[in-house]
């Protein structure tokens, strides 16, 4: 796959890190690379060039990555991968809550960053490469009673009302809707939705499961549709359990 057209923005106040990541990505075939070392420059670059993938450091000199992320989200739906040395559950949850799609903890191997970017781009390319007829055949309305996922419109309706749904939350829900009643482990979900093989990142999957429940369940703490199967994973059921 040709990665030369993908626009990658690397945001980190440590110039050694941005240079290391940029050099690695260039060796891996990426050409449209931009770097920024603060929030203000990041926003200017996004407004000027756009972005497909954004690597976002949490600790920036003029604004934290958590504060910057919603401002980025107002400009683009780019895939946002947090780079952080802060690994507490609260920090990770904050990253997802502000609009991030995934995260990598420092120190990291830049080849891991490249692999994650490639996986994301491959998934996007595979979806866009489908013929119009093929895409139309696969578009459906998944009716689960309390909520409906309208694939053609890219919309989640809960009790008839549209509910905002970030891209990765939507994609995870869409995958589960297509496979009702089937139990998927975290690793299987991570590979199917994020495109990454190997051990799943528990926080990434668990946070997105929670985000789905907050949207589709009347009581997210006692889910009726998106169930946990202890020791195995998660499944989506069409009818609420009694």
Q: What is the pLDDT of residues 201-234, one digit of tens each?
A: 678 888 899 999 999 999 999 999 999 999 899 9
Q: Is the dihedral of CA 222, 228, 230, 231 positive or negative?
A: negative
Tell me which residue of 228, 225, 227, 229 sits closest to 238, measured CA to CA.
Answer: 225
What's the mean per-residue pLDDT of the chain?
86
Q: Which two three-digit tokens encode residue 200? A: 């799943």
Q: Report how far residue 71's alpha carbon sits from residue 160's, in angstroms, rounded to the nearest whole number.
A: 29
Model pTM greater than 0.75? no
CB 99 within 8 A of CB 117: no
In this prediction, residue 104 has a pLDDT band, given cuts at 50, 70 and 90, of: confident
Q: What are phi and psi of 214, to 5 degrees?
A: -65, -20
Domains of the chain in start order, with CATH, are 7-128 (3.40.50.2300), 132-236 (1.10.10.10)
Q: What is 205-228 written as a DSSP string?
A: HHHHHHHHHHHH-SSTTS-SSEEE
Q: Report how far residue 14's alpha carbon sits from residue 57's, in angstroms, rounded to the nearest whole number.
A: 9
Q: What is the DSSP letter of 183?
A: -
What average pLDDT does the segment 162-184 reach? Answer: 90
**Per-residue confidence (pLDDT) for residue 21, from 0 to 100:** 95
């Amino acid at each position: 796959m040709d990665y030369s057209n993908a626009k990658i923005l690397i945001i980190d106040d440590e110039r050694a890190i941005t240079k290391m990541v940029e050099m690695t990505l260039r060796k891996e075939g990426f050409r449209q690379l931009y770097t920024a070392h603060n929030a203000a420059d990041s926003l200017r670059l996004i407004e000027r060039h756009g972005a497909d993938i954004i690597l976002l450091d949490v600790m920036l000199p003029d604004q934290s990555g958590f504060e910057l992320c919603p401002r980025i989200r107002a400009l683009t739906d780019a895939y946002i991968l947090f780079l952080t040395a802060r690994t507490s559950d609260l920090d990770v949850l904050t990253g997802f809550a502000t609009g991030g799609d995934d995260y990598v903890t420092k120190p990291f191997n830049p080849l891991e960053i490249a692999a994650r970017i490639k996986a994301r781009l491959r998934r996007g390319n595979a979806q866009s490469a489908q013929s119009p007829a093929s895409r139309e055949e696969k578009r459906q309305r998944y009716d689960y009673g309390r909520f409906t996922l309208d694939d053609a419109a890219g919309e989640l309706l809960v009790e008839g009302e549209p509910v905002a749904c970030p891209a990765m939350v939507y994609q995870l829900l869409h995958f589960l809707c297509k496979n009702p009643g089937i139990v998927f482990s975290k690793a299987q979900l991570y590979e199917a939705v994020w495109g990454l093989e190997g051990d799943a990142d528990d926080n990434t999957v668990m946070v997105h499961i929670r985000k789905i429940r907050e949207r589709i369940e009347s009581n997210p703490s006692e889910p009726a549709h998106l169930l946990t199967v202890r020791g195995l994973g998660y499944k989506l059921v069409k009818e609420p359990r009694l």
